């Protein structure tokens, strides 16, 4: 297949270059990785998130002869280079390009997984996953149920870059996780960095239910961590508490997690208070126990995400927290999110829930 970057969509090449430059420039402003992230013992090596994702797929293809990787331009490494070198290593029968047809990519993956293969499908941008929505929600999520357990496509993992990059505009910056959270039968996961990306992706690939693995694209090269060399998994549906405190509970996932980590540090420095910071990691299922236990301790909750406010996944969190923790709440639950508008181009900084918006909401929460 002719490269989309060099031939079909030349503007895409400029976007990818901008992502690479933008991640380097922005990393010093808000990307923060806790020092205590080391899920397993053993040898480690420094990787960024792109390399950690490549490593997870490499391990899978080395250990599972049925594993295949496919999508638009994955043969040469993909537009973000997450499959770099895998075609040369495992051959064109196992790593191959597809036509520019997201519905076909998802449908093909469902067929392969139903036949018993391990299918890793890449949708080039999460903004373009919507043509595949019918296949994923009406087919992948329901195969086991509709067949009475005779068939399943748990071998399907759909990877897709998501979120803002600083220059993506309305077709390359969206966060669609809430759309899929409504579909019973799917699992939806968003990592925050290299260690979680490798462990969660390997968990998704081994999971018996089809998984949507959303990769915040600005994090691909933003920072590196010491990632375990060997295979390891992180549990799906389990959140992580990255900072502990008793003033409030701050909840986010993906890129936004780094924003609220900085906000928590600002609150400690400026206001003298400490907050629990929770990385949800799994959107479907999500870790209700960890979240509610934290809020019963702190009595206050702030939820932040890049997706629009209305029906963003923060609304589900807020509803459950209100039901389960009502008598423990000392203030109304705060949500800081994208605006209910198409993702803007030149006004992207005003759209994103940055640290100042989140800090302002936290200050109001603490003063209530």
Give residue 39's pLDDT: 52
Give the active site residue among 122, 139, 172, 258: 172
Averaged pLDDT, 179-208: 97
Per this entry, what is the length of the chain?
368
With 90 as the cut, is the pLDDT of residue 3 above it? no
With 60 as the cut, is the pLDDT of residue 15 above it? no
In percent, the amount of the chain with pLDDT more than 90 equals 85
Which residue segments constitute the domains of the chain, with CATH numbers given?
4-228 (3.40.50.970), 240-367 (3.40.50.920)
Give residue 166's pLDDT: 80
Give residue 167's pLDDT: 82
pLDDT band at 295 (very low <50, low <70, confident <90, very high): very high
With 50 as the cut, is the pLDDT of residue 108 above it? yes
Q: Is 182 a catalytic residue?
A: no
How many H helices and E strands in the chain? 13, 14
Averaged pLDDT, 352-357: 96
If 0-12 CB within 10 Å is exposed, 13-18 middle and 19+ buried, where does residue 66 land? Answer: middle
With 90 as the cut, is the pLDDT of residue 277 above it? yes
Strand segments (E) across the chain = 44-48, 67-71, 95-97, 118-122, 156-162, 187-189, 211-216, 224-228, 240-243, 249-252, 276-279, 282-284, 301-308, 334-338
Give residue 324's pLDDT: 98
Q: HSE-up of 243 (CA within 13 Å, CB side)?
A: 27
Give residue 35's pLDDT: 42
Q: Is 172 a catalytic residue?
A: yes
Q: Which two tokens stand for residue 202?
A: 């390997």
Q: Is the pTM of this model over 0.75?
A: yes
pLDDT band at 28 (very low <50, low <70, confident <90, very high): very low
Give the active site residue among 72, 102, 139, 348: 102
β-strands 187-189, 224-228 pairing: unpaired
- 114-164 per-position pLDDT tens digit: 999 999 999 999 999 999 999 999 999 999 999 999 999 999 999 999 999
Averaged pLDDT, 204-219: 97
pLDDT band at 6 (very low <50, low <70, confident <90, very high): very low
């Amino acid at each position: 297949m002719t490269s989309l970057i060099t031939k079909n969509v030349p503007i895409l090449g400029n976007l990818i270059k901008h992502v690479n430059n933008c991640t380097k420039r922005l990393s010093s402003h808000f990307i923060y990785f806790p020092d205590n992230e080391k899920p397993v013992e053993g040898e480690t090596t420094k990787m960024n998130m792109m390399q950690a994702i490549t490593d997870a797929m490499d391990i899978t293809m080395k250990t599972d002869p049925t594993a295949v990787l496919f999508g638009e331009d994955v043969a040469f490494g993909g537009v973000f280079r997450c499959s770099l070198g895998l075609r040369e290593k495992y051959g064109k029968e196992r790593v191959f390009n597809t036509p520019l047809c997201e519905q076909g990519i998802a449908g093909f993956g469902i067929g392969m997984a139903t036949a018993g293969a391990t299918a890793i499908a890449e949708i080039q941008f999460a903004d373009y996953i919507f043509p595949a929505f019918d296949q994923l929600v009406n087919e992948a999520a329901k195969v086991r149920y509709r067949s009475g357990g005779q068939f399943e496509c748990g071998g399907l993992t759909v990877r897709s870059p998501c979120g803002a990059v600083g220059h993506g505009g309305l077709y390359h910056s969206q966060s669609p996780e809430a759309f899929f959270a409504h579909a019973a039968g799917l699992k939806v996961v968003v990592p925050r960095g290299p260690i979680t990306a490798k462990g969660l992706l390997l968990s998704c690939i081994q999971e018996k239910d089809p998984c949507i693995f959303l990769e915040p694209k600005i994090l691909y090269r933003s920072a590196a961590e010491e990632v375990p060399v060997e295979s390891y998994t992180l549990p799906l549906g389990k959140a992580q508490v990255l900072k502990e405190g008793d003033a409030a509970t701050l909840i986010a996932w993906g890129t936004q997690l780094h924003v609220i980590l900085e906000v928590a540090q600002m609150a400690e420095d400026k206001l003298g208070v400490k907050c629990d910071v929770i990385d949800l990691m799994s959107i479907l299922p999500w870790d209700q126990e960890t979240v509610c236990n934290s809020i019963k301790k702190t009595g206050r909750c702030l939820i932040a995400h890049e997706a629009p406010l209305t029906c963003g996944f923060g609304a589900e969190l807020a509803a459950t927290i209100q039901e389960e923790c009502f008598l423990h709440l000392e203030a109304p639950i705060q949500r800081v999110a994208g605006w209910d508008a198409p993702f803007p181009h030149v006004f992207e900084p005003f759209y994103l829930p940055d640290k100042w918006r989140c800090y302002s909401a936290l200050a109001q929460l603490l003063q209530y």
